């Protein structure tokens, strides 16, 4: 995989990390109803799974 492609994947990981942080902050504020908090928690988990998948791809392709 080309270096530029790896950089794009790393940028995607960074964007996901930022999104997870924003979602986590909203969950911690505890201003939303239970249903919304549950949905945000699912979103956070899905983002984390996506980040881990991208990190694994980067590791495999750069190694």
Q: What is the pLDDT of residues 35-63, one digit of tens each?
A: 999 999 999 999 999 999 999 999 999 97
Give the alpha-carbon dihedral of 43, 44, 49, 55, to 10 degrees: 130
The pLDDT of residue 47: 97
Q: Exposed, middle or buried by CB within 10 Å (0-12, 13-18, 19+), for 9?
A: middle
Q: Which residue has the tokens 């979602």?
A: 23
Confidence of residue 7 (pLDDT cuts 50, 70, 90): very high
> Residue ranges per domain, the chain?
3-62
């Amino acid at each position: 995989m080309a270096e530029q492609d790896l950089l794009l994947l790393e940028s995607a990981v960074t964007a996901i990390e930022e999104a997870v942080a924003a979602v986590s902050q909203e969950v911690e504020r505890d201003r939303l109803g239970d249903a919304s908090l549950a949905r945000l928690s699912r979103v956070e988990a899905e983002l984390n799974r996506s980040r881990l998948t991208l990190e694994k791809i980067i590791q495999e392709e750069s190694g």
